[in-house]
Amino acid sequence: MTRAAERVLALALAEVGYLEKASNARLDSPTANAGSGNFTKYARDLDAVEGLFNGRKQGAAWCAVFAIWPFVRAFGAELAMRMLYLPAKSLGAGVKYLAGYFQRAGRFFTTGPEPGDLIFFYKKDLTSWAHVGLVERTDGERVYTVEGNASGASGVTPNGGGVVRKSYALTYDRIAGYGRPDWPAAEEGEEEDMLTGKEIVERINEYTAALPVPDWAERELREAVEMGITDGSDPMGLIPRYQAAIMALRAAKAEVRP
């Protein structure tokens, strides 16, 4: 499992037990104001992302919204959209359209689920789309999932109203396939955000150099310059141990001058 998939699944699994709300109130509570109004914190959060969907999704069926939500939480909207192949103002809140984005990207598979994949289900007619969740793991015989807008009843349960963990035989005929996110894009994003040790030191030095010398230290700093302990340049900059040792040696010599 990639580190990116671990992040996504940790966020999704932390939501297990959440119930959709009867109205647009108490959205952050796992169980308060439970009802069948299709109001959730997931739709609220993604509705706030400009350009993600083609319109507001609060109050609509939310299994796809839940599947997308941990990606946005983990990586931000721009990177999440790249990972899930979503165009601007996408139709990705609809199961059929979300599956289509993976298919067009060549990242839709009918076998071999992997952790973090989106798992798509058919309706009973085995032709039209019904539901989507996230693959947690597989043991070679069953696939284990975390799903939004589902219930704990056996089989596919669209519009079940909660976030649940489930499992299915890999041969279950209503599994349509698996959409695999672009995990390398997440790893590239992490690399771009990481600073080298040199860059970290440079940024710290830039910050400290901009700080003023404390008032109480100014007089003694002038005396230290006069005694030749320091030249007084970059007074707030960081110094390595060898520079500190040299300055201490200079101070010792200055004190023993005849």
pLDDT band at 257; cut points 50, 70, 90? low
pTM, two decimal places: 0.74
Domain boundaries, the chain: 3-189, 195-255
Range 225-230 average pLDDT:
84
Report pLDDT digits (tens) over 3-20. 999 999 999 999 999 999
**Burial grade of 34 (CB within 10 A; 0-12, 13-18, 19 or more):** middle
Report pLDDT digits (tens) over 90-103. 999 999 999 999 99
- Cβ atoms < 10 Å from Cβ of 145: 25
Residue among 120, 2, 24 at smallest CA distance from 67: 120
**Maximum CA extent, the chain:** 101
Please, which residues bridge with residue 40 across strands?
Answer: none
Give me the torsion for CA of 96, 99, 100, 103, rounded to 10°.
-150
Report pLDDT digits (tens) over 150-191. 999 999 999 999 999 999 999 999 999 999 999 999 887 655
**177 backbone φψ class: left, alpha, beta (φ>0; ψ -120 to 50):** left
Do residues 117 and 134 lie in contact, with contact meaning Cβ atoms separated by under 8 Å? yes
According to the model, what pLDDT value does residue 214 have? 82
